[in-house]
Chains A and B, each alone.
Chain A
Amino acid sequence: MQILRKTNLKALAKAHALGQEGVIALIERKGLEGRGGAAFPTGKKWRTCHDTQADERFVVCNADEGEPGTFKDKFIILNNPKTMIEGILIAAYAIGAKRCFIYLRGEYEFLRPKLQRQVKSMLKRAKTDVTIEIVRGAGAYICGESTALLQSLQGNRGTAMSKPPNPTRNGLWGKPTMINNVETLTCAAQAVLFDNWKPEVRLFSLSGNIQNPGVYEFPIGVKMSKVIKAANPKRKLKAVSFGCFGGIMPVDENMAITPETLMMEKCHHGAYSIIFADETNNVVDLSLSIAKFYTYESCGKCTPCREGTVRMLNLLRKIHSGEGSREDLPILCELANHIQETALCGLGQTCGNHVLTSILHFPQDYEAYFSKK
């Protein structure tokens, strides 16, 4: 796997040789995009951070991987943490930061003792005055969102803030702050060192009703049939959900998985987390478990998301209990659309996707509950 290639501090040495401008230009040329789900060009982000006037800058490695069905960052922290740490040091050098953080989700506490030792040994080996502190999250999905993460890091409630200001210019304690995800930083080190590093290769987290769940590498554009073959389902598959926010769609073996083909089905690739559900499931049940997730994780700051997620959940519960009717579906869609249009942050803006796509692609599953009446 490309993601497992070790850089052994050679990438950092190369970055030093290239200079700040050189390493930023290299990352831009290599076409690295953020791997947390938003796919923003990494080089551009580094450049903005570097070019913003300030006496101090920070790097934050976002290890608050919380999107259901996603475990690729855990895989990296377990299997190639030193390359990730080197990525942090390269980012720090590129933008001129001395103080860096790893925001590690509370659910990954079991990874922390070893990671702490590795950070210590890498800093020593790199003979650097840069510091890397591990910040322990405490169970809030929203803290993976950059503005909420910064609030959390600064000792506040981890609620999302409106942008601008963009954290890259005005982040921690008002200073330019570069927030990059675990996979992005690991790839940054590899992209700097290896000439044959491929930007289109992505980590896929596969889970659900399959016999070979795990982290796989595929290029963007891979055929769904190939992914399914690796996943090895026991029974016939019915639906795939792209994490929680990416939407639910029928399994189409012939589809090439790209952001564009998914968009045509009103789905989003996110962090390429694919949850498979087989034919024994009703998609409404899947949607219900996703709705519970959003109700639980909404940070409560804005009304449409705080109240709307509860109302969507209640409607789905009603349908699930056999008390619903066809008239509930337009209400559900209206709610979902309304929340998405008015919510402040990415959580609210995507929390209705599963409802919209499950009604679009699986009306028969809703019908099955209506006819139970």
Chain B
Amino acid sequence: MSERTNLMEGGKDEILLNVLHRAQEKHGYLSESVLKKISSKYSIPIAKLYGVVKFYTMFHTEPQGKNIIEICGSPSCVLNNGISLEQFLKSELKIKIGETTQDKLFSLYKTSCIGCCDEAPAMLLNRKPCTRLTIDSLKATIENLRKEAGEKKE
């Protein structure tokens, strides 16, 4: 079992997962320089830290799109038309699973069940659930996000 020394700060242990989540929220992703800072602050070898980060699908070591979509690929959603939604997203955004659009507006991931099977099919958009999805509702959501981004630019 691991010793308890590495995350002591001001007498209070910190949980590494929470530290990483906060850093990712602040910087958008866990870049090498962010990880180096965490590594030295908490005396965790960088190789170990990298190993931990890579284990969890929600941590990213590359820049992400402004909006992160995670579409559920588990049975209850698949039984409720989930696969056609995934295909729609791929063709509408012109990217594969795991990629980011050229305009950096969207990153697309597939996720295991997000516990919204009672409102399937479902996805997470920036960690918030969007449920009872249809191709039309997806289309509208994406259009809105594009419009929002366009307005901000102007």
- Taking CB as reference atom, which chain B residue is nearest A71? B115
Q: Is the CB of A214 within 8 A of B75?
A: no
Q: Is the CB of A289 within 8 A of B74?
A: yes
Instruction: Confirm or deny: B78 has a beta carbon within 8 angstroms of a beta carbon on chain A.
Output: yes
Instruction: Confirm or deny: B116 has a beta carbon within 8 angstroms of a beta carbon on chain A.
Output: yes
- Digitize B104-121: 1 where CB-to-A-CB distance is under 8 Å, 0 elsewhere: 000000011111111110
Q: Provided the pairs A138-B58, A173-B4 are in contact, do residues A69 and B17 lie with their beta carbons within 8 angstroms? A: no
Query: Which residues from chain B contact A101 at a C-beta distance below 8 Å?
Result: 15
Instruction: Confirm or deny: A322 has a beta carbon within 8 angstroms of a beta carbon on chain B.
Output: no
Q: Is the CB of A66 within 8 A of B112?
A: yes
Query: Which residues from chain B contact A139 at a C-beta distance below 8 Å?
Result: 56-58, 111
Chain B nearest CB, measured from A183 CB (Å): 13
Which positions 119-137 of chain B face chain A at CB distance < 8 Å? Answer: 119-120, 124, 127-129
Q: Is the CB of B115 within 8 A of A65?
A: yes
Q: Is the CB of B113 within 8 A of A70?
A: yes
Query: Which residues from chain B contact A66 at a C-beta distance below 8 Å?
Result: 112-113, 115
Q: Is the CB of B15 within 8 A of A241?
A: no
Instruction: Confirm or deny: A109 has a beta carbon within 8 angstroms of a beta carbon on chain B.
Output: yes
Instruction: Confirm or deny: B7 has a beta carbon within 8 angstroms of a beta carbon on chain A.
Output: yes
Binds B, one of A150-158, A193-201, A330-338: A150-158
Measured between alpha carbons, how far is A113 from B97 in the docked complex, in Å? 29
Measured between alpha carbons, how far is A31 from B55 in the docked complex, in Å? 38
Query: Which residues from chain B contact A141 at a C-beta distance below 8 Å?
Result: 112
Chain B nearest CB, measured from A108 CB (Å): 7
Instruction: Confirm or deny: A359 has a beta carbon within 8 angstroms of a beta carbon on chain B.
Output: no
**Which residue of the partner chain, among A154, A207, A241, A289, contacts B73 with CB atoms under 8 Å?**
A289
Instruction: Confirm or deny: A290 has a beta carbon within 8 angstroms of a beta carbon on chain B.
Output: yes
Q: Is the CB of A213 within 8 A of B75?
A: no
Instruction: Confirm or deny: A218 has a beta carbon within 8 angstroms of a beta carbon on chain B.
Output: no
- Taking CB as reference atom, which chain A residue is nearest B18? A136
Query: Which residues from chain B contact A296 at a C-beta distance below 8 Å?
Result: 112
Q: Is the CB of A158 within 8 A of B55?
A: yes
Q: Is the CB of B1 within 8 A of A155?
A: no
- Taking CB as reference atom, which chain A residue is nearest B19? A155
Instruction: Confirm or deny: A227 has a beta carbon within 8 angstroms of a beta carbon on chain B.
Output: no
Instruction: Confirm or deny: B95 has a beta carbon within 8 angstroms of a beta carbon on chain A.
Output: no
- Digitize A133-159: 1 where CB-to-B-CB distance is under 8 Å, 0 elsewhere: 101111111000000000011111111
Chain B CB count within 10 A is highest, among A106, A215, A244, for: A106
**Which residue of the partner chain, among A138, A205, A213, contacts B119 with CB atoms under 8 Å?**
A213
Instruction: Confirm or deny: B154 has a beta carbon within 8 angstroms of a beta carbon on chain A.
Output: no
- Taking CB as reference atom, which chain A residue is nearest B113? A68
Measured between alpha carbons, how far is A155 from B13 in the docked complex, in Å? 11
Which positions 296-347 of chain A face chain B at CB distance < 8 Å? Answer: 296-297, 299
Q: Provided the pairs A69-B113, A140-B56 are in contact, do residues A156 and B73 lie with their beta carbons within 8 angstroms? A: no
- Taking CB as reference atom, which chain A residue is nearest B120? A207
Query: Which residues from chain B contact A173 at a C-beta distance below 8 Å?
Result: 1-4
Instruction: Confirm or deny: A292 has a beta carbon within 8 angstroms of a beta carbon on chain B.
Output: yes
Measured between alpha carbons, how far is A293 from B15 in the docked complex, in Å? 28
Q: Is the CB of A207 within 8 A of B57?
A: no
Chain B nearest CB, measured from A209 CB (Å): 5
Q: Is the CB of B117 within 8 A of A68?
A: yes
Query: Which residues from chain A contact B20 at a C-beta distance below 8 Å?
Result: 138
Instruction: Confirm or deny: B67 has a beta carbon within 8 angstroms of a beta carbon on chain A.
Output: no
- Taking CB as reference atom, which chain B residue is nearest A215? B118
Instruction: Confirm or deny: B21 has a beta carbon within 8 angstroms of a beta carbon on chain A.
Output: yes
Instruction: Confirm or deny: B61 has a beta carbon within 8 angstroms of a beta carbon on chain A.
Output: no
Measured between alpha carbons, how far is A110 from B115 in the docked complex, in Å? 12
- Digitize B29-60: 1 where CB-to-A-CB distance is under 8 Å, 0 elsewhere: 00000000000000010000001100111110
Q: Is the CB of B21 within 8 A of A138?
A: yes
**Which residue of the partner chain, among A105, A155, A209, A285, contacts B15 with CB atoms under 8 Å?**
A155
Q: Is the CB of A155 within 8 A of B55?
A: no
Q: Is the CB of A135 within 8 A of B113?
A: no
Query: Which residues from chain B contact A219 at a C-beta distance below 8 Å?
Result: none
A-B contact pairs, 19 of them (CB 8 A): A67-B113, A69-B75, A69-B117, A74-B115, A107-B114, A109-B127, A138-B21, A139-B57, A157-B52, A158-B55, A173-B2, A209-B79, A209-B80, A244-B74, A289-B73, A289-B75, A290-B75, A293-B74, A293-B75
Known: A68-B74, A137-B58. 6 other contacts (CB 8 A): A107-B115, A154-B1, A157-B51, A206-B118, A209-B79, A299-B55
Show the binding face of A for B, using Cβ within 8 Å.
Answer: 65-71, 73-74, 101, 105-110, 133, 135-141, 152-159, 170, 173-174, 205-209, 213-215, 241, 244, 275, 277, 281, 285-286, 289-290, 292-293, 296-297, 299
Show the binding face of B for A, using Cβ within 8 Å.
Answer: 1-4, 6-7, 15-18, 20-21, 44, 51-52, 55-59, 73-76, 78-80, 111-120, 124, 127-129
